[in-house]
Amino acid sequence: MSYNLLKGKRGIIFGALDANSIAWITAERIHEEGGKFVLTNAPIALRMGQINELAEKTNSQVIPADATSLEDLENLVTKATEILGGKLDFVLHSIGMSVNVRKGNHYTNQNYDFTHKGWDISAGSFHKTMQVLYQKDAMNEWGSIVALTYMASQRVFPDYNDMADNKAYLESIARSFGYFFGRDKKVRVNTISQSPTPTTAGQGVKGFDGFISYADKMSPLGNATGLDCANYTIAMFSDLTKRVTLQNLYNDGGFSNMGVSDGVMQAFVEGK
């Protein structure tokens, strides 16, 4: 169902890789709601994914950009405003990667070059993106910037590794930069803390199926799907949430406020 919530709005979507990625599903929903956008991802991700298929489907253009490179980001923002015909109303940051996780390094035995690279991709890139948008005055008043995060930024999930630190940093950047973006440009900045979702990136984490099953049993409404996250993001990009900023917003079926659930207790009592 479409409500035309984003009619006439323009933006950039980072991180669409394939049909499983939340950014991909969100792009489809933004298109349905009347929004226009450019798609971007790192050149290597563009080769791995099927983003051209999404671009065709949503009548969008793809601009390759390494989100850790200020030069690439400046080029991206300049081209996006040219292609879309004006300033931006929304930006989705849906990027996260841990080289330590990919290489199988335990949290207690990190390669710090990998740690730095993962931090730069997952969190530093969010600051860089906002810095470019801010300095170029590329956002319309009452625009909305959203980054996707996960509960491991707040609580211990042992196998989430240094991605937990990256997400904590990401959330802090959202608050700190969000203050200046709000004060100076009337732009809001928020993070959405999503249930564990079976994306290509998520499935790289050890024990991810266990995360999903546990969270589903813990949450009174069950896990939020990628489509649920896309719809929440649409609400955050729309004019219906104009005064919501500096928030970490949980889209997790209630997981974040649970101590224990009947389903989880039952599994322990039965010795499962």
The token duo for 25 is: 């599903």
Query: Any binding-site annotation on 173?
Result: no
The residues pairing with 162 across neighbouring beta strands, listed in sequence order, are: none
Asked if 181 and 175 count as a contact pair (C-beta separation under 8 A), the reply is: no
DSSP letter at 107?
T
Using alpha carbons only, what angle is made at residue 9 by residues 3 and 13, rounded to the nearest 5 degrees?
100
Which amino acids are annotated catalytic?
A: 150, 160
Give the position of tokens 């564990």: 196
Q: How far apart (Å, rounded) are the C-alpha atoms in residues 38 and 91?
A: 10
Q: Does the annotation place 12 within a ligand binding site?
A: no
Q: Give the integer Cα–Cα distance in Å for 159 and 44.
A: 26
Q: According to the annotation, is 22 in a ligand binding site?
A: yes
15 is in an annotated binding site: yes
Comparing C-alpha atoms, which of 44, 48, 11, 42 is closest to residue 26? 11
Residues annotated as binding site? 15, 21-22, 95, 167
Residues annotated as binding site for NAD(+)? 15, 21-22, 95, 167
